[in-house]
Amino acid sequence: MPKLTSYYLPGLYVEDHSIEVPLDWRGHEPATVAADGLPAGERIRVFYRTVCAAENVGRDLPLLVFLQGGPGGAGPRLLSPTSDGWIAEAIKHFRVVLPDQRGTGRSTHASARSIARRGDARAQAEYLKRLLAPSIVRDFEYLRLTEFGSRAWTTLGQSYGGFLTPCYLSLFPQGIAASFTCGGIPHVPASAADVYAHTFPRMVTKTRAYYERYPEDERRMAAIANRLAGGDVTLPDGSPLSVRRLQTLGGGLGMKPAPERLHNLLDTAFEAGDGSLACAGAAPELTDGFLMGVLENLTTAGNPLYWTLQEFIYADGTMKEPIRWAAEQEYARHPEFADTARPLMLTGEAAFPFMFEDDPLLAPLKPAVDLLMEDTEFDPVYDEARLAANEVPLQAAVYFDDLYVDSGLQLDTLSRVGNSHAWVTNQFEHDGLHGSEVFGRLFAEALNRGDLERALGA
């Protein structure tokens, strides 16, 4: 398909493209559709960018496709080769493909408004199923076949992109020359309940470490929670600020420099600027600036699919039991997380029913999400036999202290994936890829093992 436009960013040459794909891939496979044309039925658009170093314009480079984190995350919007740390290293070797996964960015966009137009809650739920890994991976394979001459490419998966990687290896291993993942190997077989059973104890550890680093913030959080207990505090969008919503500010504590950002947010939380009321354990008035900062942290305007799909990324084929708000069930097992407990424990990457009641951008989706929480029929995601026989070199960065994706569960999966290699480190948090070191280390290890001969055309 002709490119939409091309332009230069500092140090980068960029091309924008868009293709059409079936909304519903069931009954169709990318190779057949690539050969015979798009089937009847609804089509959506998938947007993607290619970037390379300015000096490499016109060169026939190997391809690397970035599997973005999420769920519901669009591809990165770059400013320069160093604005997302791995890019500077990647463009030394590859032309980089940056897709917006279906439903995100400039691809056919999914929002509460657009999903509502799908019809009743059941129709909306069925549409949401079409936004999960098996459909995303088929989009990418169709993109490879139709727009890149069927050349095998290298995949780089960050976080949820790491979940997409074994799905891709399960479905279309022939399309991949080599794979890298960072903080994102899912546990196979998948189980949302197992994930959250591991997550909540780590949130206790992360919260306590945060309070040890910033002791004043333990008192500030308690004072804010005391104020919110009255039930009369609202955010600038008019939505209620409850203690449960306050606890979700811990969602970023597994990345850098989220603890410092949270500390700075609390620094100006009180109308009594010296914090004396917080220290005294009173329920002080909160500043407008703090309430706006909370809204900016909690808003789903930029990514409504993140919480909507959060638990369904663990839904794989026909399940014996529905998910039924797995994180909420686990929360109830931990009295130290009660909104009346002190110190106030913070929650991580977990979706809860109250989010779909208190957040006006998510509330319209609650009937559909409730239906999916009771559903047991999803598209198959992983093929354990094919993963065991995998021949595609897979190099995984496993962050030992990862808040969101348990390192032990990652290593358990990797032990059953053929030709996989793990680099286990506690030097980085979940977002380590966005620095300048992680991808370079993974690339060097794979290169030294001889795993990149096919990827680089050597």
Residues 174 and 236 in one domain: no
Give the percent of the chain with pLDDT over 70. Answer: 97
Last residue of a domain, one of 348, 373, 398: 373
**CA atoms within 13 A of residue 132's CA, in its CB half-sphere:** 26
Helix, strand, coil percentages, rounded to 5, for the chain: 45, 15, 40
State which residues form the domain around 216: 192-373
Strands 394-399 and 420-425: parallel
What tokens were used for 217?
A: 């913030």
Residues 170 and 267 in one domain: no
Tell whether the model's pLDDT for residue 282 goes beyond 90.
no
How far separated are the first and last CA of the chain, in Å rounded? 29
**CA atoms within 13 A of residue 280's CA, in its CB half-sphere:** 9
Mean pLDDT of 223-228: 96
Residues 97 and 215 in one domain: no
Residues 300 and 323 in one domain: yes
pLDDT confidence of residue 457: 86
* Angle at CA of residue 109, ends 108 and 113, nearest 5°: 130
Residues 312 and 233 in one domain: yes
Mean pLDDT of 96-113: 97
* Structure confidence by residue, pLDDT tens digits, 231-253: 999 999 999 999 999 999 999 99
* Structure confidence by residue, pLDDT tens digits, 351-388: 999 999 999 999 999 999 999 999 999 999 999 999 99
Across the chain, mean pLDDT equals: 96
What tokens were used for 270?
A: 């009180």
Tell whether the model's pLDDT for residue 407 goes beyond 80.
yes
Reported confidence tier of residue 458, pLDDT bands at 50, 70, 90: low
b/e code 123-161 from CB counts within 10 Å (16+ = b): ebbbbbbbbbbbbbbbbbbbbbbbebeeebbbbbbbbbb
Reported confidence tier of residue 272, pLDDT bands at 50, 70, 90: confident
Residues 310 and 250 in one domain: yes
Residues 168 and 53 in one domain: yes
pLDDT confidence of residue 281: 53
Shortest CA distance to 249 belongs to which of 239, 238, 236, 264? 264
CATH code for the domain of 164: 3.40.50.1820
Mean pLDDT of 262-270: 97
Shortest CA distance to 447 belongs to which of 27, 93, 125, 52? 93
**332 φ/ψ angles, rounded to the nearest 5 degrees:** -65, -20
Give the percent of the chain with pLDDT over 90. Answer: 96
* Structure confidence by residue, pLDDT tens digits, 36-77: 999 999 999 999 999 999 999 999 999 999 999 999 999 999
CA dihedral 385, 389, 391, 395 (to 10 degrees): 70
pLDDT confidence of residue 278: 46
Tell whether the model's pLDDT for residue 100 goes beyond 60.
yes
Residues 42 and 62 in one domain: yes
Mean pLDDT of 274-294: 76
Residues 198 and 132 in one domain: no
Last residue of a domain, one of 373, 408, 428: 373
pLDDT confidence of residue 185: 98
Shortest CA distance to 226 belongs to which of 357, 344, 358? 344
Q: For residues 239 and 356, give the distance between their C-alpha atoms in angstroms, rounded to a whole number.
A: 11
Tell whether the model's pLDDT for residue 316 goes beyond 60.
yes
Q: For residues 262 and 198, give the distance between their C-alpha atoms in angstroms, rounded to a whole number.
A: 24
Provide CB contacts within 8 A for 70, sequence distance 6+. 101, 104, 159, 160, 161, 303, 305, 306, 309
Instruction: Assess whether the previous peptide bond of 2 is cis (omega < 30° from 0).
Output: no
Q: Count up the domains in the chain and report the number.
A: 2
The answer to whether the beta carbons of residues 84 and 78 sit under 8 Å apart is yes
DSSP code for 157: E
Report CA torsion sign: 83, 86, 91, 96: negative
Tell whether the model's pLDDT for residue 1 goes beyond 60.
no
Reported confidence tier of residue 280, pLDDT bands at 50, 70, 90: very low
pLDDT confidence of residue 129: 98
Residues 392 and 447 in one domain: yes
Residues 177 and 198 in one domain: no
Least confident of 6-20, 94-108, 278-292: 278-292
| Matching residue, tokens 């333990």 | 218
The answer to whether the beta carbons of residues 188 and 233 sit under 8 Å apart is no
Residues 309 and 416 in one domain: no
Shortest CA distance to 458 belongs to which of 178, 180, 173, 150? 178
Tell whether the model's pLDDT for residue 283 goes beyond 90.
no
Last residue of a domain, one of 373, 404, 426: 373
